[in-house]
Amino acid sequence: MGMLWYVMVLIGAMTFVCCDKGEEPTILDQYGNEADPATLSAGTSTVYGTGVTAYDSPAPWVTGALETRFYQGDALYDNPRVSGDDPLQGGKGPLYAGSSCGSCHANAGRSYPTLYSQGGTGTGGFSSHLIYITKKNGAFFRNYGRVLHDQAITGVEPEGRLSVTYTEKTYQFHDGESYSLLTPTYTITEWYADDIAPEDLIIDVRIPLRHVGMGQMMALDPTELEELARRSNYPEYGISGRLNYVQERGKTYIGISGNKAQHADLTVELGFSSDLGVTNDRYPLEVAEGQSQMIGYSHYGIQISTQDMENVDFYLHALGVPARRDVDDPVVQQGEKAFYRARCDLCHVPTLHTRADAPALLNGTRLPWLASQTIHPYSDFLLHDMGPELDSHYTSGLALGCEWRTTPLWGIGLQKKVNQHTYFLHDGRARNLIEAIMWHGGEGAVSRELFARMSKDDRDALIRFLESL
Ligand code: HEC
Ligand code: HEC
Determine the pLDDT at residue 244. 98
* pLDDT, tens digit only, all 469 positions of the chain: 333 333 333 333 334 444 444 455 688 888 888 999 999 999 999 999 999 999 999 999 999 999 999 999 999 999 999 998 888 899 998 999 999 999 999 999 999 998 888 888 887 788 999 999 999 988 888 788 889 999 999 888 899 999 999 999 999 999 999 999 999 999 999 998 877 888 999 999 999 999 999 999 999 999 999 999 999 999 999 999 999 999 988 899 999 999 999 999 999 999 999 999 999 999 998 888 877 777 666 666 899 999 999 999 999 999 999 999 999 999 999 999 999 999 999 999 999 999 999 888 988 889 999 999 999 999 999 999 999 999 999 999 999 999 999 999 999 999 999 999 999 999 999 999 999 999 999 999 999 999 999 999 999 999 999 999 9
Q: Answer whether residue 177 is part of any domain.
A: yes
For the chain, how many structural domains are there in total? 1
Does residue 73 contact residue 317 with C-beta atoms inside 8 Å? no
Separation of alpha carbons 414 and 51, rounded Å: 8
Q: Answer whether residue 160 is part of any domain.
A: yes
What residues are in contact with ligand 1 under a 6 Å CB criterion?
97-98, 101, 103-105, 128-130, 206-209, 214, 257-259, 266-268, 271-272, 275-276, 312, 316
Out of 332, 348, 394, 458, mutate this one to test ligand 2's pocket (max ligand atoms within 8 Å of CB): namely 348
Does residue 55 contact residue 107 with C-beta atoms inside 8 Å? yes
Does residue 129 contact residue 205 with C-beta atoms inside 8 Å? yes
Out of 76, 105, 262, 266, mutate this one to test ligand 1's pocket (max ligand atoms within 8 Å of CB): namely 105
Determine the pLDDT at residue 24. 59
Q: Answer whether residue 288 is part of any domain.
A: yes
Determine the pLDDT at residue 23. 52
Q: Ligand 1 centre and the CA of 208: distance in Å?
A: 6
Ligand 2 close to Cβ of residue 427 (< 6 A): no
Q: Answer whether residue 10 is part of any domain.
A: no
Determine the pLDDT at residue 2. 36
Cα torsion angle, 288, 293, 295, 301, sign:
negative
Q: Answer whether residue 330 is part of any domain.
A: no
3-state secondary structure 253-292: EEECECCCCCECCCCHHHHHHHHCCCCCCCCCCCCCCCCH
Q: Ligand 2 centre and the CA of 81: distance in Å?
A: 34
Please list, in sequence order, all residues whose beta carbon lies within 8 angstroms of the beta carbon of residue 25, skipping any fewer than 6 positions away. 16, 17, 18, 19, 44
- How far from 91 is each of 80, 105, 209, 302, CA to CA, in Å? 11, 20, 24, 8
Does residue 248 contact residue 402 with C-beta atoms inside 8 Å? no
CA dihedral 95, 101, 104, 108 (to 10 degrees): 170
Does residue 101 contact residue 73 with C-beta atoms inside 8 Å? no
Instruction: Tell me the residue length of the chain.
Output: 469
Q: Answer whether residue 187 is part of any domain.
A: yes
Q: Answer whether residue 110 is part of any domain.
A: yes
Determine the pLDDT at residue 145. 85
Determine the pLDDT at residue 138. 86
Which atom, in ligand 1's list, is nearest to the CA of 261?
27
Determine the pLDDT at residue 300. 66
Q: Ligand 1 centre and the CA of 270: distance in Å?
A: 9
Q: For 226, left (φ over 0), alpha (ψ -120 to 50), or beta? A: alpha
Return phi, psi of residue 321, to 5°.
Answer: -105, 130
Separation of alpha carbons 10 and 47, rounded Å: 12
Note the Cα 162 to chain centre separation in Å: 21
Q: Answer whether residue 138 is part of any domain.
A: yes
Q: What is the pTM of this model?
A: 0.94
Does residue 258 contact residue 73 with C-beta atoms inside 8 Å? no
Structural domain harbouring 202: 74-209+267-314
Cα torsion angle, 369, 373, 375, 379, sign:
positive
Does residue 241 contact residue 384 with C-beta atoms inside 8 Å? yes
State the amino acid at position 61 in one-letter form: W
- Please report which residue ranges of 283-381 form alpha helices under DSSP H: 306-318, 330-341
Ligand 2 close to Cβ of residue 431 (< 6 A): no
| DSSP secondary structure of 381-408 | --EEE--GGG-----BTTB-TTEEEPPP
Q: Ligand 2 centre and the CA of 134: distance in Å?
A: 26
Out of 79, 110, 209, mutate this one to test ligand 1's pocket (max ligand atoms within 8 Å of CB): namely 209
